A and B are shown apart, each in its own frame.
Chain A
Amino acid sequence: MKEQVISFELNREKVEICADPALSLLRLLRSRFNLIGTKEGCGRGDCGVCTVLLDGRAVNSCLIPAGKVEGRKVLTIEGLTREGLKKGAKVHPVQQAFIDKGAIQCGFCTPGMIMSAYALLRDKPFPSPEEVREAISGNLCRCSGYKQIEEAILEAAKAITEQEGKW
């Protein structure tokens, strides 16, 4: 496959890489940028474990051809953690809420789940439980039964608004 130069913003830093544009964004992130927090599950848009933010919106990185991110902004779970570190916390408040509420069991769905949750809270700082359920409807979890995840996201919303201005 012919490679081409792809320039985009990755976790708030400008990057440029020579890559096959038909590679999925997921593969690009994992194999070329070593950002392995984003997981591969079904590889066909059904499970949501590969969720990242593209221009602020949750997308399945397994379905996005690398060429498509030219000139756009990509945020992964590593970028979110870094935002937490910058503010003097260990992790981002959404991640902290998942830890506090026991919303993690095997952990494989967690990065995708957190990115979907973060995308929701960016748009709707005060989501209803119904809106939380809709926001994570594209993320499958086979361990937890979703209840703790929903609680964690509502908790994260509270934490973020209480520390208003900080995040």
Chain B
Amino acid sequence: MSYSVTSSLARALNVLSESMGQGRVVAGATDLFLKSLSPELVDVSSVPELLGINRDHGSLSIGAGVTHAEAAASPLIRLEAMALAEACRQVGSPQIRNIGTIGGNVVNAAPAADAAVALVALGARAVLIDLGKRQHHAAVEELYADYNLSTVDSSSEILLRFLLDLPARDEGSAFLRFAPRQALSLPLVNAAARVRLKGDAIESVRAVIAPVNPAPTRLYETEKMLLGSWPEDDTWRKVEYTAASEVEVRGSLLRCSAGYRQHLVGVLARRVLKKAVERAVKSRMGGDGS
């Protein structure tokens, strides 16, 4: 096996080209030893095109090589994409967050990867580059082929960054997870939401839950129910019920029984949506949304 570290995107693409499908892109490499090794690894964690968090023409651009620790501490992400900061703060442990990247969190394609769940709720689009240096965009939820299998072919393309629409003044987002312990623990269920208000009503909403499918899953029925109205106590009870009913969950020895998970889906969906609405209200009133 060969392992090359490069800080040049062109060089990384060249190595992949020359390895004729035997190469593979790695970034944080935290899951490398847990999977089978490829003969040729290209470490892109210090390629400048994959780094940095900045505003870019009405979008928030977040490099795929940004670590969870950097994302969790970034004032810009905390201001514009709080759900992502919250998700990144809860991944694994400090040691994992210091080196694991959000791009890796998505391409690793675990069904309940915290950062990925937040990115889908925020409506993030991935920017990828292929060996011919052509760039294309894809919604994060479209990058899942199956459980733990990404559509991103790490032997012939590189995930560069994520773009998400900057929030309007009356928007809020939130992320929640439920796990047996506060660190080093897989979530039994995680949830994220992004909400925009207009007047006295919810104008747009994205609610996402995992793990119920290979990809983080939108709660379309729940979203539909919330649109165009102002949620009262009764609405939140309906949110819990609708969210729990609209997805099919499995029990697993690794996580918990199906019944318990169904219950958690409802509770977390309600809590995360409520939190996102509260932040939208606060942001509208001139607060920082946190």
- List the interface of chain A (C-beta within 8 A of B): 1-2, 4, 20-22, 24, 43-46, 48, 51, 54, 57-60, 62-68, 70-71, 116, 119, 134-135, 137-140
* A68 adjacent to B29 (CB under 8 Å): yes
**A67 CB, nearest partner CB in chain B, Å:** 3
Residues 19-68 of B at the A interface (beta carbon under 8 Å)? 26, 29-30, 32-34, 37, 41, 43, 45
Query: How many angstroms from the CA of A110 to the CA of B183 in the assembled complex?
Result: 19
**B96 CB, nearest partner CB in chain A, Å:** 6
* A67 adjacent to B95 (CB under 8 Å): no
Nearest 10 pairs of A and B residues by beta carbon: A138-B93, A67-B3, A21-B3, A137-B183, A57-B98, A138-B95, A60-B95, A22-B1, A70-B5, A138-B94
- List the interface of chain B (C-beta within 8 A of A): 1-5, 26, 29-30, 32-34, 37, 41, 43, 45, 69, 92-96, 98-99, 182-184
* B69 adjacent to A4 (CB under 8 Å): no
* B95 adjacent to A24 (CB under 8 Å): no
* A63 adjacent to B94 (CB under 8 Å): no
Query: How many angstroms from the CA of A48 to the CA of B98 in the assembled complex?
Result: 13
Choose among B30, B41, B43, B182 the residue that contacts A63 (Cβ–Cβ < 8 A).
Answer: B30
Contacts of B96 in A (CB 8 A): 45, 60, 63, 138
Known contacts A45-B96, A63-B30; A71/B5 CB under 8 A: yes
Query: How many angstroms from the CA of A70 to the CA of B34 in the assembled complex?
Result: 22
Choose among B2, B33, B34 the residue that contacts A4 (Cβ–Cβ < 8 A).
Answer: B2
**A82 CB, nearest partner CB in chain B, Å:** 22
Query: How many angstroms from the CA of A24 to the CA of B1 in the assembled complex?
Result: 13
Chain A residue, CB-CB nearest to B94: A138
Contacts of A43 in B (CB 8 A): 33
**A167 CB, nearest partner CB in chain B, Å:** 22
Known contacts A54-B99, A65-B32, A68-B29; A45/B92 CB under 8 A: yes
Contacts of B184 in A (CB 8 A): 46, 137-138, 140
* B3 adjacent to A48 (CB under 8 Å): no
Contacts of A58 in B (CB 8 A): 94-95, 98
Chain A residue, CB-CB nearest to B69: A57
**A110 CB, nearest partner CB in chain B, Å:** 16
Choose among A2, A48, A134 the residue that contacts B2 (Cβ–Cβ < 8 A).
Answer: A2
* B98 adjacent to A67 (CB under 8 Å): no
Query: How many angstroms from the CA of A137 to the CA of B30 in the assembled complex?
Result: 17
Chain B residue, CB-CB nearest to A116: B94
Choose among A44, A51, A119 the residue that contacts B33 (Cβ–Cβ < 8 A).
Answer: A44
* B30 adjacent to A67 (CB under 8 Å): no
**A12 CB, nearest partner CB in chain B, Å:** 20
Contacts of B26 in A (CB 8 A): 65
Contacts of B30 in A (CB 8 A): 45, 60, 63
Task: Identify which of A1, A45, A57, A135 gathers the most chain B CB atoms within 10 Å of its CB.
Answer: A45
* B3 adjacent to A68 (CB under 8 Å): yes
